[in-house]
Amino acid sequence: MTNTQSHKRALLVTRKLPEKVEERLCKAFEARLNREDAPLSAARIAAEAQGCDALLITPTDRMDARLIGALPECVRIIATFSVGYDHIDLAAAKARGIMVTHTPEVLTDATADIAMLLLLGAARGAHWGERMVRENRWGAWAPTHPLGMDVSGRRLGIFGMGRIGRALAHRARAFGMEIHYHNRRRLPPEAEAGAIYHETFEGLLPHCDFLSLNCASTEQTRGILDARAIALLPRGAIVINTARGDIVDDDALIAALKEGHLAAAGLDVFNNEPDIDARYRELENVFVLPHLGSATPATREAMGMRAADNLEAFFAGERPRDALT
């Protein structure tokens, strides 16, 4: 870890960030940077945080109650370089009087692009098609095989019609898809743009040729796509997940993919990343990506700048616009 001048607020940055973001942080703070970019253990974070006023963390840093309790009293704010915050115990932070912020809005388009990629890739067999070419198994053309699934004109169900869900719906309409959704609150007509609202998650499922998970990971949503929910989907449906892995019951999803109740899945997020359930790697009807939702240079830079905005606002005596506690 490296330091800059000592007269500024001290900030621990747990991972290497885009160059322009680090430059800004070093101008505004006494930024302790992680030049090696190796994930820090909980004990290392607690030790490096000594004398720090703030932490800038990432989803690889699990800020549970034990680690938050071990932070020095000088830490007043934790800014996470992510829109999701399920890796932070917000109640523990609030009890310690520590502000927590995240980075919404700036990764909407990048994540919606990945969701559409997963939808198309899962439907049209991108995984097995690429393997056929790479493994030199591409035989003569045949009228009846191998075949993917149609996308145009099909029904897309979106669970979580926030910014990313609405951006995905916008893209899907270009393919002539009929949009259905469930959200905690119904959207106003202008935001629905013709999408069909369902009052419950269970009520949405029978109308989904494709189901895209775009909700936050909460106590209410973790494990919600279980065997009971999957059984409500039409046979041959396709599941897309760019939200969080823990929304899905892996055993139930894998069983449905093997049995054929689900035709395919497109997954960018998993439980226990990167140590995912190894069975996914063996399934030909699963199109997988290594959590690439926000992985573009412009998006990652915007996320860092948004985190910096929140930190600077806090130390200017203002409430950050992305405050969670």
- Choice among 15, 127, 244, 306 that is catalytic: 244
**What are the strands, taking DSSP E only, across the chain?**
10-13, 30-32, 54-57, 77-80, 99-101, 155-159, 178-182, 196-197, 210-213, 237-241, 262-267, 286-288
Nearest to 212 by CA among 176, 177, 185: 177
Residues with Cβ within 8 Å of 245's Cβ and at least 6 positions away in sequence, in order, are 267, 269, 270, 271, 272, 273, 276
Compute the distance between CA of residue 8 and CA of residue 53 in angstroms, rounded to an integer: 10
- Choice among 62, 96, 261, 291 that is catalytic: 291
Compute the distance between CA of residue 309 and CA of residue 318 in angstroms, rounded to an integer: 11
Residue 291 a catalytic site member: yes
Contact in structure between 168 and 195 (CB atoms under 8 Å): no
Six-digit token pair at 176? 């002539």
Cα angle for residues 44, 300, 70 (degrees, 5° grid)? 20
- Choice among 273, 279, 301, 312 that is catalytic: 273
Residue 273 a catalytic site member: yes
Strands 210-213 and 196-197 come out as unpaired
Chain center to CA of 119: 16
Residue 170 a catalytic site member: no
Phi and psi for 60 in degrees, rounded to 5? -80, -10
Active site residues: 244, 273, 291
